[in-house]
Structure 1
């Protein structure tokens, strides 16, 4: 069994996610048993980690669970076996922009480490070891050929919803619209990009971001030039490419200023309550997890979200909602009889609630709050706190800095050795006694995150 133990998100450009698994001895001592982790989410796709065993070695694979026809996902991933002695003794491999598709949903290495070495260097007395998975630069692309009369794509699964691209042809032009087919009555915010054609004739929309309403519609995109694309669509067809970046569920609820709580539900159908707190100079919103007693015993449920105060009547050029400071909010929840709640500060002063024409007061004197749900993980072992995330993130950052400095030092040593050899050769040509060329450069250090992607055996 492979248990998701911890998850951390590094706030870098690649949007790196690091998952740590505790792997029990069944992965090595029960060859006939299929050892696979439970599904987990990263970049709005479902994944799992699977193990294979031969007589002498253990293999590990990253498995894409959301495979569908026409879709492909590209991932930078690294598997690292964590040494019990020192991080420089870790063993692993990596792949850059590895492609996952419906016909190839598992990628990894069949011989990661010999079983004898696994037992001596990585496993503890119980035969358990820790495996770290790093995932970054995850891209989801969908492609298909559009030909008249069929102008809509088949359903596309992403972020827990089903999507489709609807194409309308009329007036000598084309319009494309991303439509959500599932999740009726629920709003979400989606970021995506559309492209028509190939090569030099490819027309790209650039990044698009839209609020998908309860009916599932988004604003239309009209590619240019319209006449040529419409002609291609009716003659020989045109290639459509859709890149899905993210889709996050939204909920808006009215919160009474008098303190009566409002109830809402997250993506996992768990109940939450939000009440207004006016016992300070500024209004605070008290977020409570009502179903905290349903968290499995000896587990942690990590939940993150963002929040906005929605304006009653936004002016020209004014945003319709003001984000709450301190976002994103995140917390770890263990099984309790009741949740004490998390307090979210706002910039709204309490005395503004008494003004009849307040910027954030809606009909009935309620505040309108918009919540956007983020990452959610169910983690094994409840003895953990959100404060530990900082230490874990710093550890990964320092490991990267050390690896970069080691590589830079090795390059400088090679350059110095080359200069010494050139000097010795010039002195020998001049008939002078050539000094020793100096020590040969040492072997490159064994970096904990060295890339072995050229040697990676992909399934």
Structure 2
């Protein structure tokens, strides 16, 4: 038998539960072909785990033990065989939204792993045992029943005896059914339907159950919402009233009942008399027929409870019982929980239990007051012990098998740390590269290309005196989209606006901008005139009395428009000096135009280029 070795409830959104089983060596090494575990409870359903050997391969199955016709149970589960060396060598598989029905109560994996691999890859300990982990989560239980109620039932003597009962289903290790009782008027027509959820087993204690109804007839769907209530010791509960009879029954009276079962917990009520002269302890039994005792007292204006597990000596030797429960104090129609979260206790075999002492936060004066709502007519106070789960585990003492899980936990922690360090290093490199891409590059960056393209287009189209407005009249989204079509983040835009100023004044030509540009342009013209005069003097000294060169420079620097150069001898093949001077003049004039336009547009193009290519 595969013994249940450890249990863990993670208390997460998926309601995950992890069961650790021990596969004995005699199953792996001997001729046995089948191995099963004891029945265990998970998410209010009873399950079992089985292993089968076939042709040197191990097959694994998860079986739902109590499944009736009309029940549908879906669950996510995974099975893992633990490797003793490293967690990356574990053998595992995972099934999501597995469907368990009356016709298909088992789900699993054929040819899960080879027996040879289990014997050679450090899965076995020194005794040949193997650890197997089963994780179950997201378990949903539903029951569907096709009901038929005639819109006008035949006459019967006692209308209170008219009821319809659904099939049986299981939930929380209890058996249930739905009882439908119609209410009729004097004319014999149904006015409403009452639905009762009835418990058919373990009628010696209370249950707290949560569920919801769905009534379906064609396109008509009615949802009751989540209902939470008690099921008393007789198995009865409060009814749910359905008034939409015409939509539900229609002509045939056939409709579908679907009940989604959410959770159910066993509740054991205890009535104590803490204010009597000699308070007496109260004995009670849980659902596993284990005896408990509870007593109460008042000390220093504090209401104190003591809980004892009196059957602790009946726990089998070599086992430990793990339980999760909470205790509440009844207050009229509500309950005040003593603990904020359920308590988890481990009990192993010994002579007697030391007990669990619980000091409540309820004021004693409030309990004793007539309008407090805690005491009944006999001055008794009702305490409820709500049991969530109870499992019997093998090998209560800490052993080397627990070290394997701790070892794998440490390995996973180190792997996560290494991945975090690698992620941090990559993020740091990415940040450095982004900073380098944002930094300007005047020599070879896109700004120089834009200057050359702008100056060339200006010179070719309208000469050196072309206005800067032709360059700035571009796409209005230019400041938000770079050359690669990528959108510039607003934070980058604001950064460059603060550093270089706003592009609005540059593009619209504000007064301060025009003043700076005009003054810079006039100063540049003066420098150009001085430079031209010096060049003219040097050329005159070089050429002496050459009239062609002298006339050429006089015409060049005397014209108002430098592009309109008059040189009749430049195209004369008999005058090589004129042709050379014409080529030199064209090159010099283009350089002057580029210099003026570059200096004039420098501030505007500086910001525009940065904004267009912040990450290039």
Per the shorter chain, which TM-score range? Answer: 0.7 to 0.9
2:114 maps to which residue? 114
Is 1:247 equivalent to 2:264 in the alignment?
yes
1:295 to 300, 303, 315: 315
1:206 maps to which residue? 225
CA distance in 1, matches of 2:409, 2:10: 11
Listed one character per residue, the Cα deviations across residues 25-47 of structure 1 (whole Å, up to 9, x for unaligned) are 13322344431000000011110
Gap change, CA 1:299 and 1:323, over 3 Å in 2 = same
2:246 maps to which residue? 227
1:451 maps to which residue? none
CA distance in 2, matches of 1:199, 1:126: 61
2:283 to 263, 267, 270: 263
CA distance in 2, matches of 1:145, 1:11: 35
2:137 maps to which residue? 136
Gap change, CA 1:350 and 1:146, over 3 Å in 2 = closer
3-state SS of paired residue (1:35): strand
CA distance in 1, matches of 2:196, 2:234: 13
- 1:40-439 equivalent positions in 2, closer than 5 A: 40-121=40-121, 122-148=123-149, 151-170=164-183, 171-197=190-216, 200-223=219-242, 225-231=244-250, 235=252, 237-257=254-274, 258-311=278-331, 314=332, 320-350=334-364, 359-383=373-397, 395=409, 402=416
CA distance in 1, matches of 2:226, 2:288: 29
CA distance in 1, matches of 2:389, 2:143: 23
TM-align CA RMSD: 2.9
Listed one character per residue, the Cα deviations across residues 58-98 of structure 1 (whole Å, up to 9, x for unaligned) are 11111111121111110000101111012222110001110
3-state SS of paired residue (2:35): coil
3-state SS of paired residue (2:34): coil
Structure 2 unmatched ranges of 5 or more = 151-162, 184-189, 431-616
> Normalising by the residue count of structure 1, what TM-score does the alignment of the two structures yield?
0.79
Task: Give 1:366 shift.
Answer: 3.1
The more displaced of 207-216 and 166-175 is: 166-175
Task: Give 1:344 shift.
Answer: 2.0
Structure showing greater radius of gyration is: 2
3-state SS of paired residue (1:227): helix
Structure 1 unmatched ranges of 5 or more = 417-459
Gap change, CA 1:223 and 1:355, over 3 Å in 2 = closer
Task: Give 1:3 shift.
Answer: 0.6
> Normalising by the residue count of structure 2, what TM-score does the alignment of the two structures yield?
0.60
Task: Give 1:216 shift.
Answer: 2.2
Task: Give 1:173 shift.
Answer: 3.1
3-state SS of paired residue (2:119): helix
CA distance in 2, matches of 1:198, 1:357: 48
3-state SS of paired residue (1:15): coil
Listed one character per residue, the Cα deviations across residues 298-344 of structure 1 (whole Å, up to 9, x for unaligned) are 10011221111112xx4xxxx53211134412211100110001122
Gap change, CA 1:230 and 1:198, over 3 Å in 2 = closer
Listed one character per residue, the Cα deviations across residues 200-226 of structure 1 (whole Å, up to 9, x for unaligned) are 422221211111223322222234632
Task: Give 1:353 shift.
Answer: 6.4
Listed one character per residue, the Cα deviations across residues 107-157 of structure 1 (whole Å, up to 9, x for unaligned) are 111111111111122112221100000000001111121123683102222
Higher relative contact order (Cα pairs below 8 Å, separated by 6+ residues) = 1
